[in-house]
């Protein structure tokens, strides 16, 4: 059906870009964070409902490029049911993946971003929602901007 694995990855990214999952505001959220990537113009807000140590639900709104939206969409599916520590660990794995093309641990569907490291300008697009996730978990009031991050 697909020529190779890269085509499959592209299909997943396009699907999540066109039909982002959990794409809505969450008025009753426990915490939220704004993320902004001035290099591309990506701008999103991530919402989390946290019960004790466990992320019960995640959603996002905003506008951005396909990589950014697909990454946020996959994030909201991935972190649901994870503890804060597990979500932090996923952030580190995804960061490794998008900057080096490989990760020590299992990243699940996020593996579709394995090719992003070849396009340095898109790395920040892929990681933006993950920075917002960490910002939300830390309860940081200031918006997260990739301009201030080492990636
Ligand atoms: Zn972007």
Q: In sequence order, what are the beta bridge partners of 48?
A: 31, 58
Measured in Å, residue 53 CA sits from the centre of ligand 1 at 31
Question: What average pLDDT does the segment 77-82 reach?
Answer: 98
The 10s digit of each residue's pLDDT in 31-58 is 999 999 999 999 999 999 999 999 999 9
15 — pLDDT class (breaks 50, 70, 90): very high
Do residues 71 and 130 lie in contact, with contact meaning Cβ atoms separated by under 8 Å? yes
Contact between 35 and 128 (Cβ < 8 Å): yes
How far, in Å, from the CA of 99 to the mean position of ligand 1?
A: 15
- In the predicted structure, residue 1 carries a pLDDT above the cut 50: no
Distance CA 35, CA 47 (A): 11
Give the pLDDT band of residue 99 (cuts 50, 70, 90): very high
Distance, CA 139 to ligand 1 centroid (Å)?
A: 24
Cα–ligand 1 centroid distance for 36 (angstroms):
10
pLDDT at 4 over 70: no
Return all residues near 4 (Cβ < 8 A) that are at least 6 apart: none
Token reading at 76: 């909201």
Calculate the CA 77 to chain-centre distance: 10
Q: So what's the pLDDT on residue 144?
A: 79
Q: Measuring CA to CA, how many Å separate 62 from each of 15, 74, 80, 98, 116?
A: 17, 15, 20, 21, 21
In the predicted model, what is the mean pLDDT of the chain?
Answer: 92
Residue 85 structure tokens: 């520590």
| pLDDT tens profile 101-136 | 999 899 999 999 999 999 988 999 999 999 999 999
Q: Among 65, 62, 91, which residue's Cα sits nearest to residue 78? A: 91
């Amino acid at each position: 059906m697909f020529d190779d694995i890269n085509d499959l990855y592209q299909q997943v990214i396009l699907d999540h870009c066109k039909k982002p999952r959990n794409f809505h505001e969450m008025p009753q959220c426990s915490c939220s964070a704004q993320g902004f990537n001035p290099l591309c113009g990506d701008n999103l807000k991530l919402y989390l409902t946290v019960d004790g140590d466990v992320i019960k639900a995640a959603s996002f709104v905003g506008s951005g490029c396909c990589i950014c939206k697909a990454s946020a969409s996959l994030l909201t599916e991935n972190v649901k049911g994870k503890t804060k520590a597990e979500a932090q660990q996923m952030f580190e794995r995804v960061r490794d993946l998008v900057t080096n093309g490989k990760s020590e641990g299992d990243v699940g569907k996020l593996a579709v971003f394995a090719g992003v490291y070849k396009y340095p300008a898109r790395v920040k697009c892929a990681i933006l929602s993950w920075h917002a996730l960490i910002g939300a978990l830390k309860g940081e009031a200031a918006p997260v901007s990739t301009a201030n991050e080492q990636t």
